[in-house]
Every structure is written in C-alpha cells, then in structure tokens.
Amino acid sequence: MRRFLLVLLFLGLAGAGGWLLWHKLGAKKGAADDGAGAHSGLGKPTEPQRPTPVLTAKVAQRDMPVTLEGIGSVAAFYTVTVKTQVDGRITDMPFREGQPVKKGDLLAQIDPRPFTIQLHAAEAAHARDLAQVKNAKLNLARYATLRKQDLVPTQQVTDQQAQVEQLEAQVRADETQEDSARLLLDWAKIVSPIDGVTGVRQVDPGNIVHPGDPTGIVVVTQLDPIAVLFTLPEDELAAVQRGMADGQLTVDAYSRDGMVKLATGKLEVVDNLINQATATAKLKAIFANPDHTLWPNQFVKARVQVSVRAQATVVPAVAVQHGPPNAQNPTGTFVYLVGADMTAQVQPIELQALEGDDAIVTKGLKLGDQIVVDGQSRLKPGGKVSLPGAKGAEGKGGGKGSKGGGDGGGKPGADKWQK
C-alpha cells in the first residue's frame, strides 16, 4: 500500500509540472504573435490587389439597319400533284425520281390505242356527214332552179333547205367529237405542267390509273424561285408596313441556328389576317434559288430589314450586362465603363435594339467612351483594370491574360471592336 501511494504521488507531481511547462510556452508564443501583429498593424500582411485584365472597345456612331427576325419555313413556289385525266394503263414512265423537269416534259404514257380508235371513228363520221351536206346542197340548188320554172312546189325547196342546215349542224357535232377524241389522245401523254423537280413516283408502269385516284402519279415541285413563310409579332406589323410603303423590303434567310446565311430575297406580301391565338402576322418572301439552297419544309430564320437608323450609338452586344432593376437603373441594363484612372464603373444604359453582334443604345453613353467587352465576370465596381499591350509588369500580365479572354476564351463580336 505504501508503495502504491508513492507511485500515485509521483504521477501527480509529473502531470502538474508538464501542465505548467505547456502553459508557459503557449504564453510566450502568444506574446510573440501579438508583437508581430502590432508591428504590421494587421493580423496578416496583405498583398496589393492586381488589376483585372480586360478587353475594351470604344462607343461608335454609324448608320444601323433595323431588322426584325421571325421563325418560318420554306414553301415551294408551285406544287402540282400530277394525275391522269383519262382511264388507262400506264405503258411508260420515262422520268427519274428527283429529276429536274421542264414544262411539257413527258412524265407518263397511257396506252393510246383506245383513244386513237375513237379519233378515227370521229373522223369517219365527220367525212360521211360532209358528203351528205354536199349532196343536200346540190339537191337544194336543183330544187331552187325548178322552183323558178314552177316545176316543184315551194314546200319542197324549203324542206331541202332545212335538211341542208341539219346536216351542217351534224358536221359541226362531228367536228366536236373529233376534237374530243384528239384531246383524249393528247391526255394519254402526261406531261409536267411546270418547271420543277419530281418527287417519288406514286404508281409504277403497268398499273391502270383513273382520274379519281387520290395519290396521283408524281408530285412536281418548283424550287426556283421559292417562298419562305414566317411570322412576326403583331406589334411589329406597323414598322413592316411603313417599310413597304417606302419600297420593297429585303429579307435574308438564315439556317435554323441563325449562323449561316442561305439566301436573300424580297418581301412579297403580308397576310390580311392576324392570328389571334398567337398574336402574330404571317409574311411571305420570295427568293431566287438556282442552287437549291432552300428546300421545301426547311425551318429557317427570316430577317427583314425595315429601316435604317442614322448615326445610332452602337456598342458590341457582348458588352451589355443585365442586373436587378433599381431607382438609378430601372431596366437593369448596364455596361462597365473604363475611366481615365483605369477603374471600371457600372454605367446604366437604355437599350433600343440588338442587331446581330451590335447593340443600339439610346441613353447612358457618348461617342468615344471606353467600355469592357471581355472580362466582365471578374470585375467589381471601382476595380482596377489592365489592357493588352500596357507597359510595366502588371500591364504585361494584363495583356497576356486578356489575350485569352478574361472569361475564358473571348466572346463573339468583341474582336472587331477591340481597341
């Protein structure tokens, strides 16, 4: 027991000594940290803030075309479903599917023999009735001579005159039958009614066709010229009408993503009704299409130029930023304006329209103002900026960073504006 008590006493004294030593060392370290903090004035020394590399452009003034954009689809100028006009068996179809054809080109041949027989029968009847008319006229002349000699009664002459007129009427009917038979024979040759391109044939040679067949033989579509049907909001209809009053409006057709220009045409007509369900008006433009760049039922974006704004204040569209509206900036639209002290400040603007890569500003900027077009995501109001090619170590760093684009690779439309 005495030995056990001695061990406990020893362990207690050793723990108390260790705690006192640890506490003393901690106090010295704290005093050293306080002295360093008092010497610097802060808990940690801070590095000076580096300028943010950006690309800038100057506000410009120039004439800007005003365009309206709508979604539409391509429609063939003419589409004809070629059908037979007579009953018969198709003996030949000399066209190839997808082949360009001209008006009058043979598409299908129906067995012509029944119609040839009808024509020959009509010609024979015509010849017979002509002979009868000739004989009746000779008899009429004889009766007229005998009547002058009072050898025949007047009634006989009158009856013969009536017979001549009846036979002449029959000859005219024969001529009509002959023309009808000739027309049926002509219809046995089915030709293209327009210039265009053939589609997939709906019936094969050897089949018997009828005028009442719903599918027809083939569809011929005219591709040059070609039409584009598109819609615009009814609120923009007044601008279109003003433009049409000044002259014919130009329409550009772009690919569905709006990146590739396909063709340029003219606005042909504005529909006479507004779709109340969508509050849009339908417009039709006509395009020359010799290379068949536009194809029926293809979705396109149509941009119609309605006017030109003279000396508009223009900035790159990529420079325009959007934030929450407030009393100083009711629309929430702004740009970063670079001052003479190389700091970026928020400048509220009023935006009138976006035209491709450009934005038209009506308020907030003046000619020559320098605005940020790349690197906005890292800017703060009042923050320092650096430009490509600036002198000094920081300028080199800024130029190098801005070359790649402050936001990771540059923005479309900024290159042509870069100053």
Hey, where are the domains in the chain? 53-65+312-417, 77-209
Mean pLDDT of the chain: 83
401 pLDDT more than 60: no
**Three-state DSSP class for residue 157:** helix
* Percent of the chain residues topping a pLDDT of 70: 81
Question: How far is residue 314's CA from residue 321's CA, in Å, rounded to a whole number?
Answer: 15
Average pLDDT rounded to a whole number, residues 18-42: 54
Positive or negative torsion for Cα 409, 411, 416, 419: negative
What number is the average pLDDT over the span 164-177? 93
Burial of 405 (0-12, 13-18, 19+ CB in 10 A): middle
Q: Can you say whether residue 145 is alpha, beta or left, with left for phi > 0 and alpha for psi between -120 and 50 degrees?
A: alpha
Q: Are 386 and 330 in contact (CB under 8 A)?
A: no
User: What's the predicted TM-score (pTM) here?
Assistant: 0.59
Determine the 3-state secondary structure of 340 from DSSP: coil
CA–CA separation, 122 vs 179, rounded Å? Answer: 9
Q: Is the pLDDT of residue 33 over 90?
A: no
Residue 222 has what pLDDT? 93
Query: What letter represents residue 212's amino acid?
Result: G
Mean pLDDT along residues 88-101? 93
For residue 377, what pLDDT band results from cuts at 50, 70 and 90?
confident
Given pLDDT bands bounded at 50, 70 and 90, which one contains residue 104?
very high
Residues 214-270: tens digit of each pLDDT: 889 999 999 999 999 999 999 888 889 888 888 889 999 999 888 899 999 999 999
Tell me how many degrees the CA angle 111-184-202 measures, rounded to the nearest 5. Answer: 55
pLDDT in tens, 105-148: 999 999 999 999 999 999 999 999 999 999 999 999 998 888 88
Joined tokens for residue 314:
């223009």
Q: How confident is the model at residue 38 (pLDDT cuts 50, 70, 90)?
A: very low
**Residue 11 scores a pLDDT above 50:** yes
Q: What's residue 46's pLDDT? A: 52
CA distance linking residue 402 with residue 397, whole number of Å: 9
- The three-class DSSP label of residue 268 is strand
Peptide bond into 53 cis (omega under 30): no
Higher pLDDT, 30 or 332: 332
Q: Which residues contact 122 (CB under 8 A, 6 or more apart)?
A: 174, 177, 178, 180, 181
pLDDT tens-digit series, residues 307-318: 888 888 888 888
Pick the CATH number of 53-65+312-417 from 1.10.3720.10, 3.30.360.10, 2.40.420.20, 3.40.50.720: 2.40.420.20
**HSE, side-chain direction, 13 A CA sphere, residue 112:** 15
Give dist(CA 159, CA 68) in Å, integer.
81
Ranking 280-284, 314-318, 409-413 by mean pLDDT, the lowest is 409-413
Torsion of CA 260, 265, 270, 276, to 10 degrees: -10
Pairwise pLDDT comparison (339 vs 11), residue with the higher score: 339
The CATH class that applies to domain 77-209 reads mainly beta
pLDDT-derived band of residue 181, with 50, 70 and 90 as boundaries?
Answer: very high
Helix (H) or strand (E) holding 352: strand 350-355
pLDDT at 166: 93
Give the DSSP letter string of 103-128. TT-EEEEE--HHHHHHHHHHHHHHHH
In angstroms, the first-to-last Cα distance of the chain is 94
Mean pLDDT on 40-47:
49
Closest CA to 319 of 57, 60, 66: 57
* Packing angle, helices 154-187 and 113-148, rounded to 10: 160
